[in-house]
Structure 1
Amino acid sequence: MSFKTIIAVVFDHAGDERTLAFAANLAVTHKARVEVVLFAPNPSLDLISYGMLLGTTLPAETQAAILADQKRQTDALDALCRRVCNAADLVYGEGEGLPRMELRALATRPEIALCHALTLADLAVLSQDSLTSAPAAPDAFAQILLQQCSPVLIARSDPETLGDHAVIAWDGSAEAGRAVRQALPLLAMAAGTTAVQCRVGLDIEAADPAFEPLEAYMSAHAAGALSTERIEDGPEGTALVQAASRLKAGLIVAGAWGHTRLREAVFGGATRTLLDAVNGPSLLLAH
C-alpha cells in the first residue's frame, strides 16, 4: 500500500517549492519516483511551431533568445529540485534506484507532457499557492482531475501534517469511493481517520451512505482504525471544513463534483468550499 510514481506539477512559480517538498516527502516515505512536470506557457515552442507552419526559418537572434529562455527556465527548476532533494535526503536525477526525483524534459507542450506523465502515475501533487495564483494552474488541475481522472493532492501547510489526523468526506458515492481507494497510502500514514458525513443534501437513492462498507474496506487494507461522525446541519462543505478543524486534521479526502454540473453551477458545492479553504488541511480529490 504505497505510491510508486508521483507527478509534481510545477509552474515556474513561487508555489513550486511547496509542491516539490510534499512530493519529496512522499517519495522518501514510499520509496517512490517523483517526476517533475513543468506546466507553463512556452512561447518558444509556439514560435517554432508558427515558423514551421509558415515554412520559414526563424532568424538566428530569435533562435538564440529561445534557447536562452529555455536554459534559464531549466536551470532555475533544476536548482530548486536539487535544493529540495538535499533537504529531504532524496536522490536527484535520472536512474533506477528509488526513491528519487527527476525532471522531465521540456521538449513538448505542457498539456501533452502532463498527459504522458499521468498515464501510469499514482498521484499528482500541486500546491495551494500555485493553484491560487499561477496562471496555468487551473488548466492543469482540470486536466488532472476531470480529463484524466487522476487523484490530485492539493498541498497546504507542511508535508509533516500528512501524518496528523485525516478526514474522509463520505457519502457512499462513486467519487468518494475512488478518493478513498486512491488515498489509502496517505490514510495509512495518518495518526487516525474519521469519516464525516453531512446529512443535508445526502442522496440516498444515488448511493449507499452507510459507514459499514467503508469500515470493512479500511480494515481489510489495514489502513488503521476508522471513527465515524454524522453532522445534521449544513451546508456540506462548511460542515466538513469545520469538522476537519475541530479534529486538527492534516488531510481531507473527498470525491470531487459528485452532483450534476448544473446543480454545482447554480448552488455551488462542497468541492468548491473545500478548495476555497486555502488555510485548511491538505486536500486529496478524485473524480
Structure 2
Amino acid sequence: MSVFLTLTEGADFMEEANVLACRLSQRLKTKIQGLTAMPDPTGSLLMTGSGIGLYMPNSGVVMSSIQDAQRNTCEKLETAFNAVCLREHIEPKMMSVRHIVGVPEQEFAGAALLSAGLVFPHDCGRASGPYGVAFEHTLMSKRQPVIIAGTDKDPNLSTIVIAWDGSPEAARAVALHERVICSADRVVIAQNGDKLNLEDKHAPESSERIREWLEVRGMATTVRQFSGSVADGLLKLTKDEGAGILVAGAFGHSRVEEMIFGGVSRSLLRAEDGPALAIAH
C-alpha cells in the first residue's frame, strides 16, 4: 500500500505536494509512487471531408511530435519528483514513478482504491482543466478519499485537525483517512460551538464519539471549539495548532448543478495559505 502523488503538468505547487507526500509516506512507513497519466496519441482522430465526414488517424509526423512532447514532460516530472524525494531522505527502494497511458480522470481515481493516500497538488482543488476534473471525479463521482496538498513548503504532519460535526461526510472522511490520522502524534478535534447541543452528550456531533474512536487507536486528542464562520474558524484553528493536515467531509453537488462544493469546502480548497485537506464525500 503506497502513498500516490499525481504528477501534474504545469502545477504551481507541485513541489509542495511532493514534500507532503514524502513526509506522509515516511510517517506511514510505506512507499511513495509518482503517477503521470497522458492519453494515447494514437487514439487521436481528425475529421475531414464534407457532408458525412470521414475519420482518419493523425499523420505519423503529428503523432511522433505528440509522443516526443509527452515523453519530455514525463521525464521532467520524474526528474523533479526524484530530486524532492532524495532531498526528503526517501530511500531509492521506497520511491518510484509510473507513467500511465490513459486519461487522468480515470487513472487517478483507480489509484485511490486501497491506497495509503492519493495526493493532488493544491492547484487541482480549484482548477477546471483535466487535473481538476480528475480530482473532482475521484472525490465526488468515485467517492474515493483524496488529499489536496497545501501551499506550505515545510508541512508539519505531527499534528492533524479533524473537523467534526457528526455528519455522514465527516465520519466517512475520518474512516477513510484512518491511517493518515493515526500516523500523527496528536489529533485536535475542531468543532463550531455555535452549532453544538452541549446538553446532549449523545448527539451525533458530540465530541465523545470521535474521541472514543481515536482513544481506541491510542491517539492523544484535544477538543477545540471556535465560533463564527466555519471555514475561517477551521483555518485559524489549524494554523494556531500548527497542524499540517485538516481532515474534513466534502459537501456539494455536480458541475451540472453549478455547485461543485458547499461554501465551506470551497473556501477551504481555495485558501491561499491553508493546510493540506484530507477529504472524502
Q: Specify the TM-score bucket, using the shorter chain as the normaliser.
A: 0.7 to 0.9
Query: Do the aligned partners of residues 246 and 91 (structure 1) sit closer, same or farther apart at CA in structure 2, a change above 3 Å counting?
Result: closer
Query: Do the aligned partners of residues 273 and 160 (structure 1) sit closer, same or farther apart at CA in structure 2, a change above 3 Å counting?
Result: closer
Query: Do the aligned partners of residues 194 and 29 (structure 1) sit closer, same or farther apart at CA in structure 2, a change above 3 Å counting?
Result: closer
Q: What is the CA–CA distance in structure 1 between the aligned matches of 2:97 and 2:254, rounded to whole Å?
A: 39
Q: Aligned to 1:215, which of 199, 202, 211?
A: 211
Q: Corresponding residue for 1:12?
A: 9
Deviates more, 1:252-261 or 1:121-130: 252-261
Q: Corresponding residue for 2:50?
A: none
Q: Once the 2 structures are TM-superposed, how far is the Cα of residue 27 of structure 1 from its aligned partner?
A: 2.1
Q: What is the CA–CA distance in structure 2 between the aligned matches of 1:168 and 1:65, rounded to whole Å?
A: 47
Q: Aligned to 1:152, which of 146, 153, 159?
A: 146
Q: Corresponding residue for 1:227?
A: 222
Query: Do the aligned partners of residues 134 and 11 (structure 1) sit closer, same or farther apart at CA in structure 2, a change above 3 Å counting?
Result: farther
RMSD: 3.4
Query: Do the aligned partners of residues 88 and 271 (structure 1) sit closer, same or farther apart at CA in structure 2, a change above 3 Å counting?
Result: same
Amino acid at match of 1:81: F
Residue 43 (structure 2) pairs with residue 48 (structure 1): yes
Q: Corresponding residue for 1:36?
A: 34
Runs of 5+ in structure 2 lacking a partner?
48-52
Q: What is the CA–CA distance in structure 1 between the aligned matches of 2:107 and 2:79, rounded to whole Å?
A: 21
Give CA-to-partner distance per residue, 1:175-213, whole Å, 9 cap, x none.
111222233333334342221211445699xx7111112
Q: What is the CA–CA distance in structure 1 between the aligned matches of 2:242 and 2:135, rounded to whole Å?
A: 26
Give CA-to-partner distance per residue, 1:129-154, whole Å, 9 cap, x none.
45456833321221121112222222
Q: What is the CA–CA distance in structure 2 between the aligned matches of 1:68 and 1:259, rounded to whole Å?
A: 39
Q: What is the CA–CA distance in structure 1 between the aligned matches of 2:175 and 2:65, rounded to whole Å?
A: 47
Q: How does 1:184-199 map to 2 (within 5 A)?
A: 184-199=178-193
Question: Equivalent residue of 2:110, what SS?
Answer: helix
Amino acid at match of 1:210: S
Query: Do the aligned partners of residues 260 and 194 (structure 1) sit closer, same or farther apart at CA in structure 2, a change above 3 Å counting?
Result: farther
Q: What is the CA–CA distance in structure 1 between the aligned matches of 2:254 and 2:78, rounded to whole Å?
A: 42
Residue 19 (structure 2) pairs with residue 24 (structure 1): no
Q: What is the CA–CA distance in structure 2 between the aligned matches of 1:258 and 1:131, rounded to whole Å?
A: 14
Query: Do the aligned partners of residues 101 and 22 (structure 1) sit closer, same or farther apart at CA in structure 2, a change above 3 Å counting?
Result: farther
Query: Do the aligned partners of residues 27 and 55 (structure 1) sit closer, same or farther apart at CA in structure 2, a change above 3 Å counting?
Result: same
Query: Do the aligned partners of residues 193 and 27 (structure 1) sit closer, same or farther apart at CA in structure 2, a change above 3 Å counting?
Result: closer
Amino acid at match of 1:50: L
Q: How does 1:78-117 map to 2 (within 5 A)?
A: 78-92=78-92, 99-103=94-98, 105-117=99-111
Runs of 5+ in structure 1 lacking a partner?
none
Q: Between Structure 1 and Structure 2, how many residues are aligned? A: 270
Q: Corresponding residue for 1:253?
A: 247
Q: What is the CA–CA distance in structure 2 between the aligned matches of 1:227 and 1:275, rounded to whole Å?
A: 24
Q: Normalising by structure 2, what TM-score? A: 0.81
Q: What is the CA–CA distance in structure 2 between the aligned matches of 1:162 and 1:5, rounded to whole Å?
A: 17
Amino acid at match of 1:227: T
Q: What is the CA–CA distance in structure 2 between the aligned matches of 1:58 and 1:246, rounded to whole Å?
A: 56
Amino acid at match of 2:14: D
Q: Normalising by structure 1, what TM-score? A: 0.79
Contact 1:169-1:176 at 8 Å conserved across structures? yes
Give CA-to-partner distance per residue, 1:245-278, whole Å, 9 cap, x none.
33232221111117999x995x952212222322
